[in-house]
Amino acid sequence: MPVEMMKAVRIHEYGSSSVLKYEDAEVPDIANDEMLIKAEYASVNPVDWKIREGYMKERLHLKMPSVLGIDLAGRVARFGSEVTGFSLGERVVCRADVERGGSYAEYVAVKYGKVAKVPEGVRLADAAALPVACGTAWSALFESAELREGERVLIMGASGGVGTFAVQLAKNVGAYVAATTSSRNVDLVKSLGADQVIDYTSEDVGKSAREMDIVLDTVGGTALSAAFSTLRSGGRLVSIAANPDAKMAEERGIIIKPVNVNTDGKRLAELLAKVASGELRVLTERQFSLSEVAAAHELSQSGKVRGKIIIKIH
């Protein structure tokens, strides 16, 4: 068979956004347990540019040139002999495996167990926003911190990709939600349902939020240090942005909970159902085309993104 070609955004070396090349690449072959997805949308997460810069190279073994991107939504274009339950043209979403070939491409090969069908009424652009950010918010709140109804939770970085989902997920299970953000995003975070919004540019977070059962930190640095004074003794601290100080936690009787995110097709289907029912809203900062991924990475690296950055592919 002649080699099929597609457009993709690849890196040939680690580095700044200038290493992202919009170019021709081969359409991947699929294994028996994989499907080929014709991508319609991807989304950008901070981990994408961290991978591009080379920060993850000890853990991720990329074969250069390598297609980046993890979040993906599109339609089933082909499937292997072991794949069941899907039909051609069906709308789907998943986390692409960046070592296998990422989502910044017209066609992406993925294991079918990682794929969920997108219900009617959910836009593919919104579905593409979910896998990393919403999957992480869910795992951090409910698997790591074991958040329960009536508990007090502080979400640090509430206007970002993970934070916008975390505020809504926590509110929907009946938690008291406090949230940190800068002045320009206070109204946005209130609109997500937060009970208390703390403007970290003018308030002392460590004093404004007290007796928290749980802190979910998505920021790290000084924000993470402030988290310690907001927690009650016996409170749980989850950070997805940095390693909390274990000695300080022990001294204050705070329990550090590690995060292990495993967003498979089943979990994605649960999250999609919440979007379909209107329980979960997707906020989009901006949409770029596939040839503009470098600009999308630069925006993500600014650290000022509200909600998600979406890449339109087809």
Ligand X SMILES: NC(=O)c1ccc[n+]([C@@H]2O[C@H](COP(=O)([O-])OP(=O)(O)OC[C@H]3O[C@@H](n4cnc5c(N)ncnc54)[C@H](OP(=O)(O)O)[C@@H]3O)[C@@H](O)[C@H]2O)c1
Phi, psi angle pair for 309, to nearest 5° = -105, 130
Judged by beta carbon, residue 66 or residue 185, the one nearer ligand X is 185
SS (H, E, C) 200-246: CCCCCHHHHCCCEEEEEECCCHHHHHHHHHHEEEEEEEEECCCCCCH
What does the block give as tokens for 82? 């072991």
CA 196, 208, 221, 176 torsion-angle sign: negative
Which one among 60, 259, 269, 295 touches ligand X, defined by CB under 6 A? 259
Please state the length of the chain: 314
Q: Coil, helix or strand for 161?
A: helix
- DSSP 3-state of 70: coil
Given 261, 273, 276, 295, the residue binding ligand X (CB under 6 A) = 261
Q: Which is nearer to ligand X, 54 or 119 (CB)?
A: 54
C-beta closer to ligand X: residue 103 or 218: 218
- Binding mask 159-178 toward ligand X (x if CB under 6 A, else -) reads xxxxx---------------
Residue 201 Cβ vs ligand X, minimum distance, rounded to whole Å: 8
Supply the minimum distance, in Å, between the C-beta of residue 230 and ligand X.
13
Q: Which of 112, 147, 300, 311 touches ligand X by CB under 6 A?
A: 300
φ/ψ bin of 242: left (φ > 0), alpha (ψ from -120 to 50), beta (otherwise): beta
Min dist CB 102 to ligand X, Å, is: 16
Q: Is 101 in the site for ligand X (CB under 6 A)?
A: no
**CA–CA gap between residue 108 and residue 311 (Å, rounded):** 14
Site for ligand X contains 219 (CB under 6 A) = yes
By beta-carbon proximity to ligand X, the closer residue of 116 and 223 is: 223
Q: How far is the CB of 24 from ligand X (least distance, A)?
A: 30
Q: Is 304 in the site for ligand X (CB under 6 A)?
A: yes
Name the segment binding ligand X (CB under 6 A); options: 32-40, 142-150, 274-282, 296-304.
296-304
Among 83-91, 102-110, 121-129, 217-225, the segment contacting ligand X (CB under 6 A): 217-225
Q: Which of 258, 260, 265 is nearest to 242 (CA)?
A: 258
Q: Which is nearer to ligand X, 118 or 167 (CB)?
A: 167
Position 104: which residue type?
Answer: Y
Give strand ranges (E) for the chain. 5-11, 21-26, 34-44, 66-67, 71-79, 91-95, 107-111, 116-117, 152-156, 176-181, 196-199, 212-217, 231-239, 255-256, 284-289, 308-312
Residues in contact with ligand X, counted by CB under 6 A, come to a total of 30
What three-state secondary structure class fits 146? Answer: coil
Closest separation in Å from C-beta 152 to ligand X: 18
Nearer to ligand X, 5 or 246 (CB): 246
Which position has the token pair 């979007």? Answer: 275
Contacting range for ligand X; rule: CB under 6 A; set: 44-52, 89-97, 230-238, 246-254: 44-52
* Residues lying near ligand X in the complex (CB under 6 A): 45-47, 132-133, 136, 156-157, 159-163, 180-182, 185, 200, 218-219, 223, 240-241, 259, 261, 300, 303-306
